[in-house]
Structure 1
Amino acid sequence: MKIETKYHGEKEIEQEDIITFSNGIPGFENEKKFVLLAFPDNNVFYALQSVSTPDLSFVVTDPFSFFVDYNVKIDDATIDSLAIKKEEDVTLLNILTLRDPFEETTANLQAPIVINKKTHSGRQVILTGTPYETRHNLFQAKEA
């Protein structure tokens, strides 16, 4: 199936590449289907692209590429709703807020995206009782 995307133009995607967020993403509750698209010439940044809304795309990254001590405990409700059986079935991503210059880009560590790779289901989780905030500088973390 072909979709229009914010960063990649028209893109051919497979049904099995679609990640379903049964509750949507906070602020975008009606958006249920997304696909993860890699940006060219990198292995760190991705677009979490809405299948139905071309202009809705979140730039995301694997937090462990920047925050090696990032530690998230996924709550039982999320584990159950995503049918997570093994830790290796999980992909954890963080939404970025892009800044100009790019070196001032921040990551939302307080609300990671949790994806079950086996079931192609996802959920954004809001962490409580952690030191994580919605705007952690991406590149200061890597230098530290």
Structure 2
Amino acid sequence: MEIKTKYQDVITINKDQILTFENGIPAFESETSFVLLPFENGTPFFVLQSVKTQEVAFILINPFDFVPGYQVKLPDSTIELLEIDKPEDVATFVMLTVKEPFKETTANLQAPVIINTQKQKGKQLLISDGAYQTKHAIFKEPAVSKGEK
């Protein structure tokens, strides 16, 4: 089937690529069908693109590539909802708030997107753990050595 995307124009997807978010995504509850696409080959970024609405697309990253020690404890209700049988069936992403300049882009570590890759089911989990921020800087400034300005 063909879908219109926000970043890649019209693309063809297979029905088995569609991820179902039974309750939608917070603030987008009516959007329940998405597809996960690479943003651009060779980059660590992904797009969670609504199948229904072209303009509803979120930029995602794998938080474990950017935040050492990041952990998510899945509640039993999420494990049940997503029908998770094995830990290796779970993919975890976080949404980015893209800023100008791009190096100021942040990640929402309090609301990871959890996907059961075997059942093609997803949910955005809201974590109230104070250890993580909603605007976590993912690009660290390089240290400036003495004598440089």
Give yes or no for TM over 0.5: yes
What displacement does 1:133 show? 1.5
Matched with 1:63 is 63
What displacement does 1:121 show? 0.2
Change (3 A) 1:110 1:14: same
SS in 1 for 2:110: coil
SS in 1 for 2:74: coil
Q: Percent identity?
A: 45
Q: What is the one-letter code of the residue matched to 1:57?
A: A
Q: TM-score, normalised by structure 2?
A: 0.92
1:92 aligns with 2:92: yes
Aligned-partner Cα distance in 2 for 1:19–1:4: 16
Q: TM-score, normalised by structure 1?
A: 0.95
Greater Cα radius of gyration, structure 1 or 2: 2
Greater share of helix: 1
Aligned-partner Cα distance in 2 for 1:91–1:43: 17
Ranges in structure 1 where 5+ consecutive residues have no aligned partner: none
Matched with 1:102 is 102
Aligned pair count? 143
1:54 aligns with 2:59: no
Tell me if structure 2 keeps the 8 A contact 1:113–1:125.
yes
Tell me if structure 2 keeps the 8 A contact 1:67–1:141.
no
Aligned-partner Cα distance in 1 for 2:49–2:130: 28
Ranges in structure 2 where 5+ consecutive residues have no aligned partner: 144-149
Aligned-partner Cα distance in 1 for 2:41–2:17: 20
Aligned-partner Cα distance in 2 for 1:142–1:18: 39
SS in 2 for 1:140: coil
- Aligned counterparts, 1:64-83, within 5 A: 64-83=64-83
Tell me if structure 1 keeps the 8 A contact 2:62–2:92.
yes
Deviates more, 1:133-142 or 1:4-13: 133-142
SS in 1 for 2:140: helix
| C-alpha RMSD over aligned residues | 1.5
